Amino acid sequence: MKHLEVCYKVVTDDREPILIKHSDICSPPANPDNIDNVDTSYPGIVIKYDNGYLLEDGCHRIAKLQKQGIFESLFYVVTVDEYRSGIVKMRFQGDWITLGEWNHDALDTESHEGLSHIG
């Protein structure tokens, strides 16, 4: 099986992932061409808000799991402040990018265009 290796994200401390229902997560839609090629053994990453979670990493894994009838899975949970401080990093084209610096504007608590609850 070919896995997507374009980029990946990590939480840079030793926290454990927790089991979260997909219906509690707000997420962008997955690209249907990429769903079957992802490795679902890695936990996703969500940002915790008062009313639920915003998916930072894992939309294709969620879609693949749901195709298999699984509607909850493991996620690393970070707070908005932790995210802004740079606890999530992304490996992209051989470089490490600290996402708190790179896309901090996406953390606004206003509605996110094109995102919806999954499940």
The token pair at 8 is: 């990946």
pLDDT single digits (tens) 24-78: 999 889 999 999 999 999 999 999 998 889 999 999 999 999 999 999 999 999 9
What would the mean pLDDT of 79-95 be, rounded to a whole number? 88
Q: What is the pTM of this model?
A: 0.80
Bridge pairing between strands 88-92 and 25-27? unpaired
CB 63 within 8 A of CB 30: yes
Structural domains of the chain, with CATH = 7-106 (3.90.1530)
